[in-house]
Structure 1
């Protein structure tokens, strides 16, 4: 169940960050509410993952890295922001780094 909580934390954080982009552009209060609710949900799910026994280094590393990668890809799709080959390589390195963190933990 800890992995489900971590996945929910990642998705909540990505949704919040994407909402923050929209809120900063449009300035609507409803988007700032979505940002706040999303970040509270993200930290709540991350707390549940940690409470379920996931190591802090693993949980935070995966949460942060996956959030960066997914937000970069989603901002390309939703906002037509650049996603260069170098950025793609960086996302690939993030994936490799997360795998190294996970494979390096004792189960």
Structure 2
């Protein structure tokens, strides 16, 4: 269950990051509420995951999911560069997160 909590934490981190960009464009209460809710739930699930996972592993995987997911969402929703080197770097970050899962049990 701890890994499920960690994945949920990463997904809500992505929601928060996506809403930062929306908030910068729209400046409305809905975007702010979704940003705050996304980050808040992200921290709640990260805390639950860290009950059993090592702090370093949990934090690295959480930030990896958030950073990679934020970059991918930027490509999908905001027309950010899809350069193959950028995609390769995202894949390396995600691969590292999977590697930490494999060696952490």
* Shift of residue 68, structure 1, vs aligned partner: 1.1
Unpaired stretches in structure 2, ≥5 consecutive residues: none
The alignment's TM-score, normalised by the length of structure 1, stands at 0.89
The alignment's TM-score, normalised by the length of structure 2, stands at 0.91
SS of aligned partner of 1:83: coil
User: Cα RMSD between the aligned structures?
Assistant: 1.3
1:8-19 aligned within 5 A? 8-19=8-19
Corresponding residue pairs, total: 105
Unpaired stretches in structure 1, ≥5 consecutive residues: none
* Shift of residue 80, structure 1, vs aligned partner: 1.4
Would you say the 8 A contact 2:11–2:65 is kept in 1?
no
* Shift of residue 61, structure 1, vs aligned partner: 0.7
SS of aligned partner of 2:82: coil
Runs of 4+ residues over 4 Å off in structure 1: none
Partner of 1:40: 40
